Amino acid sequence: MSKLRHTVFVALAIPVVLSGCGPEDLSAELSQEEAAKQVTAAPELDTQPQALVPSSEYTWSQGHVANPMGITSGRSCFLTRVGGDFEGSGERVDIFQTGGSWYLGGNSSQTSINGAARCVSASGDTTEYQWTQSMNYPVNMGTATNRMCYLVGVAGKFNGGGEWVHAYVSGGQWYLSGDSGQSGVRARARCITVSPTTGYTPEISWSQGQGSAYMGPSSGLACALTYVKGKFEGGGEYVRIFDSGGYWYLGGGSNQVSVAAKARCF
């Protein structure tokens, strides 16, 4: 089923969901030393105006209860990793709030579903947006001026390059959309207010077969997933944002086809 798509422009991004928990060692991850060897050369940024301090990374994998990530008041959370065997609507990774706290969780009838998230102090996070493959048009999430939007939930059957979800900017507005030739594909997103003097970076891309993509210094900068695509069939398939040597990188792994991701920093 084809969905209306827009051209991606420069914008910002940050993190909702259901159940799952407990940080655990994700074996598919590279060590910091290994990651540093695989990353592309890190060019210098012209400016580094960001002053955000992202939290430690929270992780969840199927079989665990939802992982608490702290209070919702004055804070927002966003996905930094999605992985596993996404075979249908029963597979999901989500950030959600209940009882005044953020949680990272999910569900799976398959194997190896996992996710990770971080949180930052932020304002303007009042609405969760959702897109499903039954929708004929992208979901308008409002102005891109002084606002950053990012993925907080991914679900459904990701079986190849035809399956993707994306929070993006077009014509000065944020949109949430996707495409799927399979079933149950959906995405959730949230937005926060950002300073007009700091804003957010251009979108950084990674796809399987490439080295990890440099995103910027990890000091005072937060980075969030805005796009996930490809065939996720097990623990070998994942996309992630990670810190190596004081810098953020976007990367992943795949034993299948078309696995890719995009992200922004703010």
Residue-by-residue pLDDT tens, the chain, 266 positions: 433 333 333 333 333 333 343 333 333 333 333 433 333 333 333 333 345 799 999 999 999 999 999 999 999 999 999 999 999 999 999 999 999 999 999 999 998 999 999 999 999 999 999 999 999 999 999 999 999 999 999 999 999 999 999 999 999 999 999 999 999 999 999 999 998 988 999 999 999 999 999 999 999 999 999 999 999 999 999 999 999 999 999 999 999 999 999 999 99
Number of structural domains the chain divides into: 1
Tokens of 104: 């990272």
Residue 182 in domain: yes
Q: Which residue has the tokens 């398939």?
A: 237
Tokens of 218: 């990890």
Q: What is the pLDDT of residue 179?
A: 97
- Which residue segment(s) compose the domain that 174 sits in? 33-39+47-265
Q: What is the pLDDT of residue 141?
A: 98
Residue 25 in domain: no
The full DSSP string for 132-173 is: ETT-SSPEEEEE-TTEEEEEEEEEEE-EEEEEEEEEEEETTE
Kindly tell me the sign of the dihedral angle through the C-alpha atoms of 201, 245, 189, 261.
Answer: positive
Asked if 6 and 180 touch (Cβ cutoff 8 Å), the reply is: no
The pTM of this model reads 0.82
The string of pLDDT tens digits covering residues 37-83 is 333 333 333 333 345 799 999 999 999 999 999 999 999 999 999 99
Residue 9 in domain: no
Residue 85 in domain: yes
Residue 194 in domain: yes
Q: What is the pLDDT of residue 51?
A: 58
Bridge partners (DSSP) of residue 190 are: 14, 150
Describe the chain by its helix, strand, coil percentages, rounded to 5: 5, 55, 45
Residue 19 in domain: no
Q: What is the pLDDT of residue 198?
A: 85
Q: What is the pLDDT of residue 156?
A: 98
Cα–Cα distances in angstroms (integers) from residue 241 to residues 167, 170, 225, in the given order: 16, 24, 8
Residue 213 in domain: yes
Residue 21 in domain: no
Q: Which residues of 40-62 are buried (b: 16+ CB within 10 A; e: fewer)?
A: eebeeeeeeebebebbebbbbbb
